[in-house]
Homo-oligomer: A and B are copies of this chain.
Amino acid sequence: MIEKVTMQRTLRMTHQREVVLHELRRCQMHPTADELYDLIKKKLPRISLATVYRNLEILSEAGHIGKLEVSGRQKRFDWDPTDHSHVFCVRCHRVDNLDFPGLPCPRVEPGQNQGYEISGCRIEFFGLCPACREPTTQQASQGKPAMESAPSTPESTEDQQRQVLEALANSAAPSGSKELAAATGLESKQVSNQLTALKKKGFIASPVRCKYEITDQGISLLGG
């Protein structure tokens, strides 16, 4: 009698599910759920982020799309569910396909390794994407260009601090680390580190929690 209690039988193709699938296929990239959400909102302004997540999960479960779990960061989704490897950029975190000719997965010894019954493996390449390889044409990275984060060069502590300080000098109101990260193109963790250092030295101050503004001392530092 418990058999009567079942669920999740059919896959209904609702409008939003259709749009999720269509937009993913259309963009031909490997967007995160929220990137796709932003895209989809243009077509379906009332859709919920949860619906996007739900449908991506269901569609990947059903094998219609692929789900990428790259190195501990945000999941990305792939319109192409067939087996293939990916590269991701260590700087801007963009993901691209990588189809190599040879065998993708190294021979899995059928015998048990460590007692494990190995059923497969995932290979994940990393490196620098074309955009991030460039020798930095300019460092001012405005906004976020749709799907790809702002490439930034690995800079010295001093450079980073100068950037943060300049960004603060150009800002009217006290800024948080996220705004500063956006303004400088640095990672917010880096920005945060530099804020701490700058504050200790008295070049910036924090009028309210998490917000910073440049001090006279900081201004004179930039000026000198």
Contact = CB atoms under 8 A, between A and B. Distances in A.
A155 interface: no
A158 B6 CA distance: 7
Copies in the complex: 2
Contact of A75 (B72, B89, B98, B224): B72
Interface in A116-144: 116-130, 133
B120 A2 contact: no
Contact of A161 (B2, B102, B117): B2
Given A87-B114, A224-B1, A126 B130 contact: no
A38 interface: no
A71 interface: yes
B102 A158 contact: no
A30 to B, nearest CB: 12
Contact of A5 (B7, B127, B197): B197
Chain A interface, >50% SS class: mixed
A153 interface: no
Nearest to A120: B126
A128 B100 contact: no
Given A5-B198, A6-B197, A128 B117 contact: yes
Interface of A: 1-8, 69, 71-72, 75, 87, 89-90, 96-98, 100, 102-104, 106, 108-109, 112-130, 133, 157-158, 161-162, 193, 196-198, 201, 203, 221, 224
Given A4-B201, A98-B113, A119-B127, 10 more contacts: A1-B221, A5-B201, A7-B197, A72-B72, A106-B106, A115-B129, A118-B125, A118-B127, A120-B125, A123-B124
